[in-house]
Amino acid sequence: MKLNLLNKRVLCLMLAYSTIGLGFSNQSFAQVAKTFIVKTDKSIAKVESNMWGVFFEDINFGADGGIYAELIKNRSFEFIKPLMGWSIHRNRQKEGEVLVVNRKEVNEANPRYLQVQRQTDDFELINEGFKGIGVKKGLRYDFSMMYRQPIPGVKMVLLLKAANNKVIAQTTLTPLQTGNNWQKQSASITATETDPKAKFSIIFQGKGNIDLDMISLFPEDTWKNRPQGLRADMVQMLADMKPGFIRFPGGCIVEGTDLANRYQWKNTIGPIESRKMLMNRWNVEFAHRPAPDYYQSFGLGFFEYFQLAEDIGSDALPILNCGMACQFNTGEVAALDELDPYVQDALDLIEFANGDINTKWGKKRAELGHPKPFNLKMLGIGNENWGPQYLERLAIFTKAIKAKYPEIKLINSSGTGPEGDRFELLNTALRTANADFIDEHYYKPADWFLKNAGRYDSYPRNESKVFVGEYAVHADSKIIGSNRNNWESALAAAALMTGLERNADIVQMASYAPLFAHVDAWQWAPDMIWVDNLKVYGTPDYYVQKLFSTNKGTDVVSITNDAKNIIGQDGLYASAVTDKTTNELIIKIANTANQTQTIDLALDGKKKIKSKGFIDELENSNLNQLNSFDAPQAVGPKRIDISLKGKKLNLVLKPYSFNVIRIPFNS
Ligand code: AHR
């Protein structure tokens, strides 16, 4: 049967583009249609249902000041400067009126609190929020605090003030007499105006002393309306991607600059006032992007990560410290004969996620409100660790975990990059040891991505699987601002991802990194999703990632030109899958050339085709094109309906375009 795809809209929109080449070559070809043959009936590999995931790390104010919706910075006075983020306003401050008290001996996790000794005049305590407080008109804001007041007498006026100091929300609170016991008290205020840079203020009136801690303010509109939860707009961006997994909590965060500052999941669960805060390692990492006010409150802790993964239908992929601190910083390692607590943390985490409620850690999970297991299937041991010292420690972890939980797949590090001595040493050793997954990371220029779209075609088929756990196009090796999430970087990633998909039997998982960045508080660029205090937008990379994860299919099928995989011929990159659940063929083609290309698509197989399909197209003639809050979809998907007849389709691909073609099978 003969099939013709005629897409008049595509033809009408065809333009003669002229662009600068950047990392892409300025090729010029004869306008001869190429034939791409798709073997629709023969599955050459299975696509894992969790293949395309996301990488979450508290970098760029991704968690505190980002997805964790707490609006008060330094709520428990544990920053290195205890009053950072706070300021005291009054005409004449009296000595000793406000004290930061340390009770380390009795409360190691949350030692400091604020003692306010009132005598007469009113005074005001103001919190600046994380680069301001984003406030929306008509929305309720929920205040809470821990306090004690042996003798009553203090009255508190709670205010939200716009950047220009206009009061935009107000209520009063009269704390009760509590003796020496700490209590929690709450109140709500509703904003009368929207302001992205508001501040929160407490005016103290009356006489008496009061001790304060955990001063907190959350918007009511959190994800799933959970009290003290996550920012709904940011979670929604993730949910819309339908990611197969969430890798958390990083990244270098896992390693810590030294072992004392490593990420320890047990410190991140339970009552938030008992979660011991840590300085965020990105606080001091880049001298040129200092972030002195960047700390980890762990309000988004391991329970919340598992819950988030469950909410959006993703597998949880925690990465744990392997007894090694960041090798770019101290490189401190735990002695081999002192590794037990680290290994025990891993075993306990599996029990926390999956254990019966009668086990120690399964019981804790149930007490936190989730008696059902989280169904953890995989665990990363170490982030970007390398060298023989990593292999030694990994072997100890692997033996202990596999002995108790043979079903848990382990993710192993291959170091910091996809080639060179570090990579070779680990890649060879891990393959010899038959590792479940080898975690490859690449932050490379666009050209590298294009050249490596065939990287996995020659990988051994029956050895360890690959997890491309972090990748992004970096125009240069600096991560401090010259890199942008422009269309060039996203299109090059799309080209490479066709190679990952073609090799889905080996590359079973992949995640772009990092995920989030706050426009006023980032340390590392590029990043997939950018936010300010009220808004969020996806970069071109976001749309590429989303197109892959929402079109993942179930089976890879071959797509060739002249019997060869399509890896850069005339700047074209392609892969194809079928989806056995929806009964569709899904073809992905990146056109990295700066000219229109015409493709005759020949579908070779017994399956019949329906007459209607569509293309989701991302394109821009300007490789430097960015998205922004004002133009969030300057590069965004456009859906183009297509009509089909028979089994031949004529496709016209715009210059610099990524195209996902979905064709339903007939029964
Ligand atoms: O994604 C940002 C950082 O890049 C991660 O923390 C680290 O693993 C890598 O070096």
pLDDT at 16 over 80: no
Q: Output the domain CATH number for residue 59.
A: 3.20.20.80
Domain identity same for 284 and 370: yes
Q: What is the pLDDT of residue 312?
A: 98
Distance 34 CA to ligand 1 centre (A): 40
Distance CA 176, CA 241 (A): 47
Point out the ligand 1 atom lying closest to the alpha carbon of residue 514.
Answer: 1
**Shared domain check, 591 and 458:** no
The per-residue pLDDT for 568 is: 97
- Best substitution site from 441, 468, 527 to test ligand 1's pocket, by max atoms within 8 Å of Cβ? 441
Q: How far is CA 482 from the centre of its chain?
A: 21
Please tell me the predicted confidence (pLDDT) of residue 237: 98
Residue 50's alpha-carbon distances to 337, 386, 439, 462, 534, in angstroms, are 36, 27, 15, 20, 31
Answer yes or no: is 261 within a domain. yes
Residue 249's pLDDT band (boundaries 50, 70, 90)? very high
Res 175 pLDDT > 50? yes
Q: Are residues 264 and 206 in the same domain?
A: no
Output the pLDDT for position 8: 28
Place of tokens 């700490």: 182
pLDDT confidence of 11, banded at 50, 70, 90?
very low
Backbone torsions φ then ψ of 609, nearest 5 degrees: -115, 145
415/436 same-domain check: yes
Ligand 1 neighbours by CB, cut-off 6 Å: 57, 59, 250-252, 383-384, 470, 513-514, 524
* Gap between the Cα atoms of 3 and 644, Å rounded: 6
Residue 418 has pLDDT above 80, yes or no: yes
Residues 482 and 603 occupy one common structural domain: no
User: Is 90 exceeded by the pLDDT of residue 122?
Assistant: no
Question: Which pLDDT tens digit goes with each residue over 259-279?
Answer: 999 999 999 999 999 999 999
Question: Taking 70 as the threshold, does the pLDDT of residue 589 lie above it?
Answer: yes
Helices (H), 141-242: 232-241
Q: State yes or no: pLDDT of 1 exceeds 80.
A: no
Q: Whose CA is closest to atom 2 on ligand 1?
A: 514
Residue 80, in any domain of the structure:
no
pLDDT confidence bin for 482, thresholds 50/70/90? low
Looking up residue 198, the CATH number of its domain turns out to be 2.60.120.260
Q: Is residue 78 part of a domain?
A: no
- Residues 305 and 389 placed together within one structural domain of the fold: yes
Q: What is the pLDDT of residues 314-341, one digit of tens each?
A: 999 999 999 999 999 999 999 999 999 9
Which of 248, 252, 478, 515 gets mutated to test ligand 1 (max ligand atoms within 8 A of its CB)? 252
Q: Out of 55, 58, 59, give the residue to mutate to test ligand 1, the one with the largest number of ligand atoms within 8 Å of its CB.
A: 59
- Check residue 91 and give its pLDDT: 63
Task: Return the CATH number at 601.
Answer: 2.60.40.1180
Residue 323 domain-assigned? yes
Sorting pLDDT into bands at 50, 70 and 90, what band is 106?
A: confident
Provide the pLDDT confidence category of residue 422 given band limits of 50, 70 and 90. Answer: very high
CB atoms within 10 A of CB 502: 29
Tokens of 451: 């050249």
Domain assignment present for residue 345? The answer is: yes
| 57 shares its domain with 42 | no
Contact (Cβ atoms closer than 8 angstroms) between residue 262 and residue 255 = yes
- Nearest atom within ligand 1 for CA of residue 384: 8
Average pLDDT for 595-607: 94
Q: Is residue 260 part of a domain?
A: yes
What's the gap in Å between 431 CA and the centre of ligand 1?
23
Last residue of a domain, one of 164, 194, 219: 219
Measured in Å, residue 510 CA sits from the centre of ligand 1 at 14
| Residues above pLDDT 70, as percent of the chain | 93
Rounded distance between C-alpha atoms, residue 365 and residue 261, angstroms = 25
What's the whole-model pTM score?
A: 0.94
Q: Is residue 264 assigned to a domain?
A: yes
The per-residue pLDDT for range 547-586, each reduced to its tens digit, is: 999 999 999 999 999 999 999 999 999 999 999 999 999 9
Quote the mean pLDDT of the chain. Answer: 93
Distance CA(637)–CA(387), nearest Å, equals 43
Question: Cα-Cα-Cα-Cα dihedral of 65, 69, 73, 79, to 10°?
Answer: -80
Domain count, the chain: 3
Q: Which residues are catalytic?
A: 384
Same domain, 447 and 491: yes
pLDDT attached to residue 222: 98
In a domain, 107, yes or no: yes
Q: In 334-398, where do the E strands start and end?
A: 378-381
Q: Residue 181 sits in which domain range?
A: 86-219
Whole-number Å distance between alpha carbons of 417 and 443: 8
Residue 262 CA to ligand 1 center (angstroms) comes to: 15
Going from the Cα of 607 to the center of ligand 1, the distance in angstroms, rounded, reads 44
Q: Which residue's alpha carbon is at the smallest distance from atom 5 of ligand 1?
A: 251
My answer on whether 539 and 567 are in the same domain is: no
* Helices 421-432 + 388-404 axis angle, to 10: 30
Which pLDDT band, with edges at 50, 70 and 90, does 18 fall under? very low
Cα 27 from Cα 17, distance rounded (Å): 13
**Average pLDDT estimate for 220-239:** 98
Ligand 1 atom closest to residue 524's alpha carbon, by position in its atom list: 2
Residue 533 shares a structural domain with residue 640: no
533 with 565, same domain: the answer is no
Residue nearest ligand 1's atom 4 by CA: 251
Residues 472 and 596 in one domain: no
Among 549, 575, 597, residue at a domain's last position: 549
Assess whether pLDDT exceeds 80 at residue 31: no
Q: How confident is the model at residue 139 (pLDDT cuts 50, 70, 90)?
A: very high
Which tens digit of pLDDT belongs to each residue from 498-525?
999 999 999 999 999 999 999 999 999 9
Last residue of a domain, one of 549, 565, 583: 549
The DSSP letter of residue 236 is H
